[in-house]
Amino acid sequence: MATVRSAAIALFVAAIALFVVAQRLLTAVAQSPTYGVGRAPTRAELKAIDIEVTPDGKGLPRGRGTAAEGKEVYTRRCETCHGPTGKEGPQDVLVGGRGSLASPAPQKTVGSYWPYATTLWDYINRAMPFEHPSTLTADEVYATTAYVLFLNGIVGERDELNEKTLPAINMPNRSGFIADPRPDIGPGAKQKSR
């Protein structure tokens, strides 16, 4: 009887060991399929796509531009969609609407709604012009941002925007947003390290 019991225990232990080995093998195969395609990106490739610009201006590249310079870029690359003065469309209206957000007919424009000039720069840099996004130089983006802000009466025609002056612009609706109260999101949240 002891021999049968020892054999059963040995068989049970062997089955568990086989199960553990099979699980590890399946896990390894499921987690790391290799097809011989691709490679890890280089530092230069990662740097090229690391274009995040935050509301406080972190991430803005060196560059400069004025509304006077931006008028030419806007006319050439933006006017078709947003109209000659930014009020016509056919795409999003960029100018006007200040004070309209609490009205029955709110107009969400750069001048009435947008909370940070830095995120306007980021949006233009990433997504505009619509037919060829991310093709403007940093100087063209600064100049175009300046022109749109000028059309909204936020900056002067000759005010230079750059990585230092752009974050200092106080947009008309900056205080029109409510902070996210969730503890894992708000200002007191610990940031995950990258």
Q: The tokens of 32 are what?
A: 């790391």
Total domains present in the chain = 1
CATH number of the domain to which 172 belongs: 1.10.760.10
3-state secondary structure the chain: CHHHHHHHHHHHHHHHHHHHHHHHHHHHHHHCCCCCCCCCCCHHHHHHHCCCCCCCCCCCCCCEECHHHHHHHHHHHCHHHHCCCCCCCCCCCCCCCCCCCCCCCCCCCCCCCCCCHHHHHHHHHHHCCCCCCCCCCHHHHHHHHHHHHHHCCCCCCCCCEECCCHHHCCCCCHHHCCCCCCCCCCCCCCCCCC
Tell me what pLDDT residue 149 has. 98
Is 28 a domain residue? no
Is 151 a domain residue? yes
Those residues with Cβ within 8 angstroms of residue 152's Cβ, 6 or more apart along the chain or in another chain = 86, 94, 95, 96, 98, 109, 110, 111, 172
Tell me what pLDDT residue 32 has. 63
Question: Domain limits at 76?
Answer: 53-176
Tell me what pLDDT residue 187 has. 62
Is 150 a domain residue? yes
Is 70 a domain residue? yes
**pTM (two decimals):** 0.72
Burial of 81 from C-beta contacts in 10 A (0-12 / 13-18 / 19+): middle
Tell me what pLDDT residue 70 has. 98
Is 141 a domain residue? yes
Q: How far apart are alpha carbons 155 and 161 in whole angstroms?
A: 9
Tell me what pLDDT residue 186 has. 61
Is 98 a domain residue? yes
Is 35 a domain residue? no
Is 122 a domain residue? yes
Q: What is the mean pLDDT of each run of 10 residues along the chain (194 residues)?
A: 72 77 73 76 86 92 98 97 95 94 94 96 95 95 98 98 98 88 71 52
Helix/strand/coil percent split, the chain, to 5: 45, 0, 55
